[in-house]
Amino acid sequence: MLKEILSYITDALTEAGARHVYTAFESVPYDRRPKEPYIVVSADTIETSRPVYTEYEIYLPFTATAAISVIAPEGMPLCGVYDVFDTQVLPATERSGSISCRLKGVTLKYDSNIKRTVLKASISVTGICRLERKSV
């Protein structure tokens, strides 16, 4: 389910024009990632609520907090990071298909582990996941 949620967001980012989008499930080493701004989509929290049953399927409502991080290459001016956020991340949250997204907040900080400036947008994601019933 988590993979599907992140996949919806990466698809929306790609449609919005983002060229380099990774999810937390992709283990591409940082040194092999592009030398231009790239985006990493991960999930901070996920919570499901009471499922709705039908004869053959179970519908599982969920709420998740996704993190969309714009990672800037060394030496990139901050205006470039904000430009990626404004032209690619924000439009993606408006066109994420059957899940509903809402921007909760944005933080900008220097990540000393990867030695890059990271603009992290927290997105509240709500939707309903359909599962097949194993036995009826």
Partner 1 sequence: MSDEKNCVFDTTPREIFIGDTALFCDSLKLSASAVYTEKNSLGGKLLYTAQETRSVRLAAECRLMHDNAPLDVFARLYSMLVSKKIISVSYRGAEFAGCRLTYLEQKNDGGPVSDLKIEFICPVSEITEAV
Q: Catalog residues that contact partner 1 under the rule CB under 8 A.
A: 50, 52-55, 57, 59, 61, 128
- Between 27 and 54, CB nearer to partner 1: 54
Min. distance of Cβ 42 from partner 1 in angstroms?
A: 26
- Between 5 and 40, CB nearer to partner 1: 5
96 three-state secondary structure: coil
Min. distance of Cβ 59 from partner 1 in angstroms?
A: 5
Cα–Cα dist 109/60, whole Å: 35
The dihedral region occupied by 39, where left means phi > 0, alpha psi between -120 and 50, and beta the remainder, is beta
- Between 90 and 129, CB nearer to partner 1: 129
Cα–Cα dist 21/44, whole Å: 17
Give the count of beta carbons closer than 10 Å to the beta carbon of residue 122: 16
Task: Name residues whose C-beta falls within 8 Å of residue 99's C-beta, 6 or more positions apart in sequence.
Answer: 5, 8, 125, 126, 127
- Between 30 and 53, CB nearer to partner 1: 53
